[in-house]
Structure 1
Amino acid sequence: MIFCLPLLTVFSLFVAQCHGGCAEVDSLTEAVAGERFLLGCISCKGREEVSAQTTVDWHFKRPGQEEFRHIFHYDHPRADILHEDFSDRLVWHGTQHSDIQTGAVYILNVTFNDSGTYRCTFNRNLNLPLSDKLFTVEKKVELTVVAVANREMAAVISEICMYVLIVVLQLWLIVVLVYCYKKISNEHEAWEARKALKAQTELLESKDNCDGVQLE
């Protein structure tokens, strides 16, 4: 856990700045032949309160090749596999609505030919008050396919820390929800108290008026 402390510190600072709780975690880079592998790709919005429509594209380039090939396109809710080498082997595992921040995909039945450079591209159209604005974000993953998993200690520690960060994020979100619930509940109780006090005051004033009429 000592190795995780610096990451937790950075994470806490990051979460304080991005109010939506999004964390840009890098993808793993080693896959095992015959298994499935998650190509991770996360692009957090700078302003969570601004809605957006986003599409995600994945491109792939094998070692020694110069050009990337377009292999996958996601435009919610439609996912299209665009290259025959990945036919029926790519599965969307990202955000399930049009405001995408996680653009991850699973590669099923990984082969040695899947080694290479993957490029993930976010095309995000922000709905700003004056006019929409398009932002493009690119990330790359250098993937190596091996016959047997070779998990070094550093990789194991990094993965453990990633899960720790996920748990911390979930706990943080729960705390925020509880805080918001209590705040709304307190405001509602205060409103009910003011309403009751107002009704009581009106009742007393009405009673005083009635007493004055009787005295005359």
Structure 2
Amino acid sequence: MLLPLLLALLQVWGALGGCVEVASGTEAVLGLPFRLLCIACKRRSETPAEAESEWFFRPEGAPQFEKILHYSPEEGEWVAPGPFFGVMSWNGSRGTRDLQDLSVWLAAVQHNHAGHYVCRLKRNLTFEGYTYSLARNQTLRLAVVEKARRDLASIVSEILMYVLIVVLTLWLAAEMLYCYRKVAAAAPPPDSASEYLAITSESKENGGQAAE
């Protein structure tokens, strides 16, 4: 629940011309599509820049990373032969020479896609008279599960919902008890009511005798 909300916030902010760095999900369901999120915001949007991206992968237990994807605005995407060919595709920034969204898309996650990923950004910033080059890496570990598991946010939300129901029930019971006591306090006691009726009857009898 929490991740879709963050992605929606990212899309809205991006539509307004901003950039928000959001961590990627780390658990994918076998056979379903999954987006590996990688955001690298440029601190000064007014500075001209050119960028390209590379993705690397290391399976669990493997000694080193291997390059699995390269993307540049001029050349497009390249996917290495192997378990990611035909499955992984570029899902980041397009139509610009600078890249801030470096995300990739897995069309159908398989068991051999579980492991460690590195998202690398290479960016050239152009200032007056010189060009500054920088590189930035983001790492993540992806687990592949047979069935989607509930995240912590949904569990906490459900617990809070039940707590709220209990609190509202207790509050309603307290309000009903308060109203009952208030009505009971406003009503005359039984003895006073009997005395009032007796006095009223006596007054009527005295009034009748005086009339005779």
TM class by shorter chain equals 0.5 to 0.7
Partner SS, residue 125 of structure 1: strand
2:85 is matched with 87
1:71 is matched with 68
Distance 1:154 1:46, change over 3 A: same
Q: What amino acid is the match of 1:35?
A: L
Q: CA deviation at 1:21?
A: 1.3
Question: Please, which runs of 5 or more residues in structure 1 have no aligned partner?
Answer: 158-216
Distance 1:118 1:155 in 2: 27
Q: Given that residues 26 and 140 in structure 2 are in contact (C-alpha distance below 8 angstroms), is that contact kept between their aligned partners in structure 1? A: yes
Instruction: Report the TM-score when normalising by structure 2.
Output: 0.63
Q: Does 1:62 align with 2:59?
A: yes
Q: Given that residues 56 and 117 in structure 2 are in contact (C-alpha distance below 8 angstroms), is that contact kept between their aligned partners in structure 1? A: yes
1:40 is matched with 37
1:119 is matched with 118
Q: CA deviation at 1:111?
A: 0.3
Distance 1:109 1:40 in 2: 16
Partner SS, residue 127 of structure 2: coil
Question: Please, which runs of 5 or more residues in structure 2 have no aligned partner?
Answer: 157-212
Q: CA deviation at 1:141?
A: 1.3
Distance 2:147 2:22 in 1: 24
Report Cα offsets for 1:89-123 as digits up to 9, x if no partner. Answer: 11111000221000000011110111100000000
Q: Give the share of equivalent positions with the same residue, in percent.
A: 34
Distance 2:89 2:130 in 1: 34
Distance 2:117 2:85 in 1: 16
Q: Given that residues 83 and 113 in structure 2 are in contact (C-alpha distance below 8 angstroms), is that contact kept between their aligned partners in structure 1? A: no
Q: CA deviation at 1:156?
A: 8.0
Q: Given that residues 70 and 83 in structure 1 are in contact (C-alpha distance below 8 angstroms), is that contact kept between their aligned partners in structure 2? A: no
Q: Given that residues 20 and 48 in structure 1 are in contact (C-alpha distance below 8 angstroms), is that contact kept between their aligned partners in structure 2? A: no
Q: After the TM superposition, list the runs of 4 or more consecutive aligned residues in structure 1 that deviate by more than 6 angstroms.
A: none
1:153 is matched with 152
Q: What amino acid is the match of 1:58?
A: W
Q: Given that residues 83 and 112 in structure 2 are in contact (C-alpha distance below 8 angstroms), is that contact kept between their aligned partners in structure 1? A: no
Q: What amino acid is the match of 1:85?
A: P
Distance 2:137 2:35 in 1: 17
Distance 1:111 1:81, change over 3 A: same
Report Cα offsets for 1:6-38 as digits up to 9, x if no partner. Answer: x9xxx9xxx9xxx95110000000001101110
Equivalences for residues 1-216 of structure 1 within 5 A: 21-77=18-74, 78-96=76-94, 97-154=96-153
Q: CA deviation at 1:154?
A: 2.3
Q: Which stretch of structure 1 is more off in the superposition, 97-106 or 74-83?
A: 74-83
Q: What amino acid is the match of 2:62?
A: Q
Partner SS, residue 153 of structure 2: helix
Distance 1:155 1:44, change over 3 A: farther
Distance 2:54 2:88 in 1: 12
CA RMSD of aligned residues (A): 2.5
Report Cα offsets for 1:106-146 as digits up to 9, x if no partner. Answer: 01111011110000000000111120110101001110000
Distance 1:83 1:156, change over 3 A: farther
